[in-house]
Amino acid sequence: MRIEIQVNGHRHTVDVDPSQTLLEVLRDELGLTGTKYGCGEGRCGACTVLMGSHAVASCTIPAQSAVGAPITTIEGLEHDGHLHPVQDAFIAEEAFQCAYCTSGMIMASVALLRATPEPTADDIARALETNVCRCGTYPRIVAAVRRAAASVSGDQRP
Amino acid sequence: MITRDRTAGASRREFLKMVGGGLLVVLVTRDAFAAPALGLTEGRRPDNQQLPEAVSAWLHIDEHGAVTVFTGKVEFGQGIRTSLAQEVAEELRVPMSSVSLVMGDTMLTPFDMGTFGSRSTPQMGTQLRRVAATARERLVALAADHWHTDASSLTTAGGRVTDPHRRRSIGYGELTAGRTITENVRDDVALTPAAQWTVAGTSTPRVGAHDLVTGRHQYTSDMRVPDMRYAKVLRPPSIGATLASLDAGAAESMPDVVVTHDGDFVAVTAPSAPAAAKALGALRATWTPAPGAPPSSRDIYDYLRHTPAAAASGGGREGGPSEPFVRGDVAAALAAAPHRLTHTYTVAYIAHVPLEPRAALAQYTSDAGGDRITVWTGTQRPFAVRDQVAEAVGMPNDRVRVIVPDTGSGYGGKHTGEAAVEAARLAKQTRRPVKVVWTREEEFRWAYFRPAGVIDVDAGVGADGIISAWTFDNYNSGPAAIRPPYPIANQRVTFHPSDSPLRQGSYRALAATANHFARESHVSELAHMVDIDPVAFRLKNLDDPRLRDVVQKAADRFGWPGTNHGSGRGVGIACGFEKGGYVATCAEVSVDKGSGDVRIVRAVTAFDCGAIVNPNGLRNQIAGALVQGVGGALFEAIEFDHAVVRNAHLAAYRVPRFSDVPAIDVVLVDRRDQPSMGAGEVPIMALAPAVAAAIFDATEMRVRALPMAPDGLKVAAAAGSR
């Protein structure tokens, strides 16, 4: 079936199978491979994208349910060649090792900061609890989110 | 065609053709990488192959001064793309931005055994330093010739040779432009002492970080090429089951679907992932279970103790049957010891759960020179996987090229090439590019595990508080770090390989984690038995100054012993030495006496791996090892029965998450007077026994089974005391 979805500000008409997840459409149909497959059951967060302003696990969402809801992926965070403050903060804290989880961590962090601009360490841990970093860089990720929060305070970046 | 040793990568001549002019420096070692000494894990080189003259690393400087280093090592998140480049930049006196690494490409890089065993820093790092230092010396000699001056008067910095007296300088690229110069590394080339490092030894940022935070980096699983087919492999319902019948009619009638059936290997390829999934679902197969009644995770420890491995153990095994290590008269010493303690420890099978599952993209091409297969895949052993692929598709190994993009982690779990072999077989059959990406469930069911094991420890302590007798029998875990760092006068230490019902293999630090859990738990119990503080007891019994130093430093930073003891709070310490690294970890836990829930509140680790190449990268590795160690210590375990893994997904197999992470404090001991050693593994091994001791301090319960608290503490304690 043909559906129209909006991803990173662009409209795409795609032919999808009803069984196809949003993750599969993003990666295989649109070539947006920054969003990763990790578990297929919404338990690792590697596939996290924004639907509207909420972080969702794109591996558990049928592609057609994204119709009408703007999707933002890791590829959509940069503006005018500038990284999003969360991306800058992940680099500054070196909050990754293999970095396979990083896209999902960053997207979940962006959603958190939109809802809670000045999160505590506990807020961060709670919001990212479904995101797994198997390399164990969690403390650095918490530090990166706090750094990003500090850097955007007063800033109205999207 | 150039014939070459089967283990070789690209030949120097082929390589020169590819890179054109410039300066090429190669490291030639006649008994390169002395394989037997390094064969701790699988991947031993067949005995009949004498290495003629092996090249283990090379470096090229082009006419613009760009430095390219070629190494068979691979980047999995451990940071060696950065740290190895730092070492080259240091010795060559060039900025980091001039250095790039080509890694893990069997056509472009020299043969390498694989990226495991914490060897990249001590071995590849040292080799690359020698290569780079040789290049620098040659460049200085070229400049001296060019200026007709004395080489000893020249200096190097910023990618240029400078003549300070005549105030002139020339870039490395200009010196070699238009020429092809090759140079072998001399054994006696002088390396820059670590005390003088300015690039190595600093927290240089990770190379490629921008691509990692923008999603631009292409992992194998992200790769797409035109006309690519998606493949799914049919898996049996239980381990060891064989295919009895297959009806592929429905799948074969689907458009553009190809079904491959070769013995027990059944797979489908299709133009899209959903089409492949549908085709797989349409296959009708019946299977014959493997004969016999395999053990379950409930009776595995009895089974391992009583089922020795068959004489020839297969690939993926760590070590082999070992002769006991014996010193002194252990029986007499045990009998004479005024204090004696005997216990059994167990460790469960656990899964690596690399967040990027196994993946491969295979491309088949055919030209006048014959058939070729190129496979991109995330493996820690690209050359071994090349040979696996070549054998599976029946092609000479120099027609197979394996390329390893920087990969989504491994932890010892990607030594093998399952997905690569599957993709290559299907690419050869369909003559199209084929991508195979394992599901998480396939990872859990069909990869390999960290071995389960049983360890018996019997020890005696003299009236002077010195451990006088020690027997240690490890069934199946493995021999890594099996011998105590304590200079015990009478000991017998034995590894007994067992017949594992589950596929098992390397895991970060190998059996050092299991052996330290048993040994250091036992040492803490001995200290308690003779009423000596566990830190004091270790210092009293240890003689290695570097190990004593990390124990003291961890204890000092932790504020040992502190005041949190009993009533649900407790502290513990453990230490050890392995692969050139010295580690001590202090842990504080809190135990909810109602639920049995255990939280590791705080962990302090002191670590000494010689001269530190990248302190920030090292801290990242140490903290990561501790976090990963939390899982194996407290709750990770594979559950299985009837040859089926029962918790083959992340909702059922618990891995450490944000809420499980303790406050972590790392004390780095930078020994610039000592060689740099690896750090990816050793920091994991002291956590579990430190936590076990802390649980005892909090509750007076001894837990002698890993994981210690899969469903809260009481259940674990009951299992551990069985």
Q: Do A135 and B437 touch (CB under 8 A)?
A: no
Residue B445's nearest CA partner among B649, B702, B273 is B649
Phi-psi region of A9 (alpha: psi -120 to 50; beta: other; left: phi over 0): left
Residues near A68 by beta carbon (within 8 Å), at least 6 away in sequence = none
Mean pLDDT of chain A: 95
ipTM: 0.97
- One domain, residues A8 and A63: yes
Choose the final residue of a domain: A45, A76, A107: A76
Chain position carrying tokens 């029986």: B331
B188-203 pLDDT, tens per residue?
899 999 999 999 999 9
Which residues are bridge partners to B325 per DSSP? B493
Residue A51 belongs to some domain of the structure: yes
Write down the pLDDT at residue B52. Answer: 38
Euclidean distance between CA atoms B500 and B308, whole angstroms: 9
- For chain A, helix (H) and strand (E) counts, in that order, are 5, 5
Instruction: Tell me the average pLDDT across B300-329.
Output: 76
Residue A158 belongs to some domain of the structure: no
Alpha-carbon distances of B11 from A113, B2, B369, B400, B563, rounded to whole Å: 53, 8, 18, 15, 63
Instruction: Tell me the average pLDDT across B547-575.
Output: 96
- One domain, residues A143 and A102: yes
Write down the pLDDT at residue B177. Answer: 78
User: pLDDT band for position B41 (50/70/90)?
Assistant: very low
- One domain, residues A63 and A89: no
What CATH number does the domain containing A97 carry?
1.10.150.120
Write down the pLDDT at residue B323. Answer: 82
Secondary structure class of A91 (helix, strand, coil): helix
- One domain, residues A22 and A64: yes
Scanning A85-124 for CB atoms below 8 A from B yields 87, 90-91, 94, 96-103, 106, 124
- One domain, residues A72 and A95: no
CB contacts of B617 in chain A (<8 Å) are 94
Residue A156 belongs to some domain of the structure: no
Domain count, chain A: 2
| Residue B341 φ then ψ, to 5° | -145, 130
What domains are there in chain B, each with its CATH number? 12-207 (3.30.365.10), 220-289+358-437 (3.30.365.10), 300-351+449-718 (3.30.365.10)
Q: Residues B636, B697: contact at Cβ < 8 Å?
A: no
- One domain, residues A6 and A71: yes
Q: Residues B61, B98: contact at Cβ < 8 Å?
A: no
- One domain, residues A140 and A109: yes
Write down the pLDDT at residue B651. Answer: 96
- One domain, residues A68 and A91: no
Choose the final residue of a domain: A42, A76, A110: A76
A51 inside 8 A of chain B by CB: no
User: pLDDT band for position B556 (50/70/90)?
Assistant: very high
Structural tokens at position B539 = 């210092």
Q: Residues B24, B16: contact at Cβ < 8 Å?
A: yes
- One domain, residues A97 and A143: yes
The shortest CB-CB distance from B355 to any of A83, A124, A134 is to: A134
User: pLDDT band for position B636 (50/70/90)?
Assistant: very high
Instruction: State which amino acid sits at residue B247.
Output: D
What percentage of residues in chain B have a pLDDT greater than 90?
A: 84
Euclidean distance between CA atoms A148 and A125, whole angstroms: 15
Up-side HSE of residue A88: CA atoms within 13 Å toward CB?
A: 14
B365-396 pLDDT, tens per residue?
998 888 999 999 999 999 999 999 999 999 99
Q: Do B655 and A132 touch (CB under 8 A)?
A: yes
Euclidean distance between CA atoms B9 and B7, whole angstroms: 7
| Residue B707 φ then ψ, to 5° | -75, 155
Structural tokens at position B638 = 């594979």
Report which DSSP code applies to A76. G
- For chain B, helix (H) and strand (E) counts, in that order, are 19, 29
Q: Residues B698, B589: contact at Cβ < 8 Å?
A: yes
Write down the pLDDT at residue B67. Answer: 95
- One domain, residues A10 and A38: yes
For residue B130, the surrounding DSSP H or E stretch is: helix B126-147
Length of chain B: 722
Chain position carrying tokens 């019902």: B501
B485-512 pLDDT, tens per residue?
999 999 999 999 999 999 999 999 999 9
Q: Do B212 and A135 touch (CB under 8 A)?
A: no
Write down the pLDDT at residue B186. Answer: 78
Residue B432's nearest CA partner among B223, B274, B221, B225 is B225
Instruction: State which amino acid sits at residue A153.
Output: S
pLDDT score of B55 more than 90: no
Euclidean distance between CA atoms A61 and A19, whole angstroms: 10
B575-594 pLDDT, tens per residue?
999 999 999 999 999 999 88
Pair type for strands B370-377 and B229-233: unpaired
Report which DSSP code applies to B101. E
Pair type for strands B22-29 and B180-184: parallel
Instruction: Tell me the average pLDDT across A61-68.
Output: 95
Euclidean distance between CA atoms B608 and B368, whole angstroms: 55
The shortest CB-CB distance from A98 to any of B77, B210, B659 is to: B77
CA distance, residue A112 to nearest chain B CA (Å) = 15
* Sign of the Cα pseudo-torsion (B2, B315, B455, B717, in order): positive
Write down the pLDDT at residue A156. Answer: 47
Q: Residues B447, B352: contact at Cβ < 8 Å?
A: yes
CB atoms closer than 10 angstroms to residue B242: 11
Residue A157 belongs to some domain of the structure: no
The shortest CB-CB distance from B213 to any of A27, A83, A126 is to: A83
- One domain, residues A103 and A69: no
pLDDT score of B718 more than 60: no
A140 inside 8 A of chain B by CB: yes
Q: Do B658 and A138 touch (CB under 8 A)?
A: yes
Euclidean distance between CA atoms B393 and B427, whole angstroms: 10
Write down the pLDDT at residue B321. Answer: 54
Residue A91 belongs to some domain of the structure: yes
Structural tokens at position B285 = 């197969």
Alpha-carbon distances of B702 from B140, B461, B482, B706, rounded to whole Å: 64, 19, 22, 12
DSSP, residue by residue, B231-296: EEE---SSTT-EEEEEE-HHHHTSTT-EEEEETTEEEEEESSHHHHHHHHHH-EEEEEPPSS----
Chain position carrying tokens 């918490």: A142
Domain boundaries, position A132: 85-151
Scanning A15-44 for CB atoms below 8 A from B yields 17, 19-20, 24, 27-28, 31-41, 43-44
Q: Do B650 and A43 touch (CB under 8 A)?
A: yes
Helix axes of B687-699 and B615-634: crossing angle, nearest 10 degrees: 50
Q: Residues B125, B613: contact at Cβ < 8 Å?
A: yes
Chain position carrying tokens 């076990």: B692
Strands (E), B626-683: 640-641, 644-645, 663-669
Choose the final residue of a domain: A76, A107, A131: A76
Alpha-helical runs (H) found in B318-417: 330-336, 382-393
- One domain, residues A21 and A72: yes
What CATH number does the domain containing A18 carry?
3.10.20.30
Chain position carrying tokens 């090759």: B182
Chain position carrying tokens 């005391």: B721
Residue B349's nearest CA partner among B647, B111, B140 is B647
Residue B665's nearest CA partner among B557, B574, B553 is B557
Q: Do A106 and B626 touch (CB under 8 A)?
A: no
The shortest CB-CB distance from B649 to any of A27, A41, A77 is to: A41
